[in-house]
Amino acid sequence: MLLPSLYNIAEICAQKGIRHAVISPGSRSAALTIAFAQHPDITTKIVPDERSAAFIALGMAQSLRQTVILICTSGSATYNYAPAIAEAFFQEIPLLILTADRPPEWVAQRDGQTIFQENIYGKHVKASFQLPSDYQSDDENNNQNTDNQWFVNRIINDAINLTQNEQTQPVHVNVPIREPFYPADNEVVTFDKNVRIIEKIRVRKNPAQIDWNNLMKIEEQCEKQLIVVGQTALNPVLLNALPKIYDKGVLQIPIVADLIGNAYPFAKTISHHDLILMQNDDELNKKLQPDLLITIGKSVLSKSLKQFLRKYKPKYHWHIQEYGEVADTFQCLTHILPVSPEIILEYYINQTRKKLPKTDYLDLWQNENQKAKNKLENFFSEHNLQKSPSFEGGAGGGFEKSPSFEGGARGGFEKSPSFEGGARGGFLTEFSACHQIMKKLPKNSILHLANSMAVRYANYLSLENDKNIEICANRGTSGIDGSNSTAVGNALTTDKMVVLLTGDMSFLYDRNAFWHNHKTPNLRIIVLNNHGGGIFRILPEPAKQAELDVYFETKQVLNTENLAKDFDFGHTFIHTQEELAKALENFFEPNTKTQIIEIQTDSKINAAFFQQFKNTFIAKK
């Protein structure tokens, strides 16, 4: 039996510029697998675990900024895509998901590998389609079921267009397939080069169509204006627009951006806002409160920033977003500007804005940012634990006094496995380790930050603007699942150095990210192993609970050494600052295999050190 409609799905994808597919093995999906495997213009990656496969595809699409295909068999395999699809939806990453299924009459009949797959991803896809189950032809002239074959062609065209236009989110196509699943012995898989292609022409919205007269009347009332950049892919056009905010003194608008906003390469970005707002200084916060807030991008990582803007609300909040529903994150949204940020900022700056009167607002933010940066560096300089051989008083008089380190020396320095050689080589906490790592990251690399503490540490520390490092993080749903796989997907699609900074829970959760035959010699992984979910010891409420150790922190005794052996990765254990400094000297050099640095620390000491850090910034009443 010939399956031209299924085979031509690959041809349509190829003609519409899709070049990559991630496939998990299965029989019912065999025709799709064979079609994409044999198509000369499409590169395939085989990943057995569907959950990892989907995050790998997400990482590839994130890197390529192009649609990537996902293919799996029926049943629970389909459901295993769900976490990555939700992440892709909220990050606006384009995936085309092709899930094989049984014909509809066999659903809910207790037949194997059968679940309810139609619309299975609900609101977490841009659209969901169900192909007809009868599109195969019984003769070589392809005369039967022509309406259904037309329908399949139209649906696949529509689905691809939806992933590539406006908001580039995932789209699901459920594909019922009848037996036989495999080509006959004498059947040759062919592709119709004349297959119909439906193109959707992209129309860019014009900022000149916006009612600027009304907006300028609002602006004239707003002396203090603030731009906040949420999660955004590294965008050279946007970065080119930001410096113009300062050109010739026309505008005096501070730009606040989390590290995941990828705006830090612009040297005047306010990047230490977490530290500024951590002070909880009401008098200062009132001075920092904007009259007009202008936001671009997606989610904001900094809880302090979100709480600040919700409490010290601006009079007006403009959000710039070309398409889709707009979130009211700060509970003060007043205007939506439906144009792409890079276009509207250029227009706004060059044609619309009047010269603003000089105020102290920009200077206030920049001065506070510089003070926070200086205080941050002084903290790590003063608390260079390598200089404290006895560790008395925590190298600065804080550990034994910290309320989060009850029983500090009693409970653990001498017993901690991470204190081996402590006095000899400089005792190491995960935050101080991140401080060293961020300074050593190679220029023009890509940094993936796992959720929980890794992404938060990095946001506190930020990067120097000359690094030109792209920051990636799964902050669409902010789960710990899939961080390894996303970084692997990125590494498979670039020659740049890809660095993953992660904790042990996130890393171990996604071990199957490496269970495939695709090499990633440009991938470097740094695992902060405190043997549990250390964030729960740092969060105030969980840290108070009697169930902390067992039910929240979830202590575990594993390390990554055996995993490294299983997948033939390089592996280095780190216990001290001295060992870390030595390991980082050549860690980012070219190699033939993936490399792992595993930093062993103690969660109680980490919490105490981090609390001491926060105490440095919290205003004394």
Whether residue 138 has pLDDT greater than 60: no
What gap in Å lies between CA 522 and CA 490, rounded to an integer? 10
Domains of the chain: 4-176 (3.40.50.970), 210-370 (3.40.50.1220), 383-617 (3.40.50.970)
Whole-structure pTM value: 0.89
Sole residue written with tokens 């195969």? 136
Q: Which of 83-97, 190-204, 246-260 has the lowest mean pLDDT?
A: 246-260
Question: Secondary structure of 540-594 in the HEC alphabet?
Answer: HHHHCCCCHHHHHCCCCCCCCHHHHHHCCCEEEEECEHHHHHHHHCCCCCCCCCC
Tell me the torsion sign for CA atoms 199, 200, 201, 204: negative
The letter for the amino acid at 242 is L
Q: Two tokens at 135?
A: 């599109």
pLDDT at residue number 90: 96
- Label residue 284 exposed, middle or buried (CB < 10 Å: 0-12, 13-18, 19+): middle
Whether residue 441 has pLDDT greater than 80: yes
pLDDT in tens, 119-135: 999 999 999 999 988 76
Higher pLDDT, 535 or 167: 167
Stretch 314-343: mean pLDDT: 93
User: Residues of 551-583 as b/e, b for ≥16 C-beta within 10 angstroms?
Assistant: ebbeeeeebbeebbeebebebbbbbbbebbeeb
Does the bond joining 403 to the residue before it have cis omega, within 30 degrees of 0?
Answer: no
Q: Residue 399 — very low, low, confident or very high, per pLDDT cuts 50/70/90?
A: very low
Q: What is the overall mean pLDDT for the chain?
A: 86
What gap in Å lies between CA 333 and CA 293, rounded to an integer? 9
pLDDT in tens, 49-76: 999 999 999 999 999 999 999 999 999 9
pLDDT in tens, 20-49: 999 999 989 999 999 999 999 999 999 999
CA-based nearest residue to 252, from 368, 353, 372, 371: 353
Whether residue 409 has pLDDT greater than 60: no
Question: Cβ(578)–Cβ(426) under 8 Å?
Answer: yes
The number of helix segments (H) and strand segments (E) in the chain equals: 24, 17
Q: In the chain, what percentage of residues exceed pLDDT 90?
A: 59
Q: Which of 11-15, 104-108, 300-304, 446-450 has the lowest mean pLDDT?
A: 104-108
Stretch 239-261: mean pLDDT: 79
Going edge to edge, which strands form the sheet with 470-473? 470-473, 446-449, 498-503, 523-529, 595-600, 570-574
User: Residues of 157-187 as b/e, b for ≥16 C-beta within 10 angstroms?
Assistant: bebbbbbbeeebbbbbbbbbbeeebebeeee
| Other CB atoms within 10 Å distance of the CB of residue 313 | 15
pLDDT at residue number 63: 95
Stretch 289-295: mean pLDDT: 96
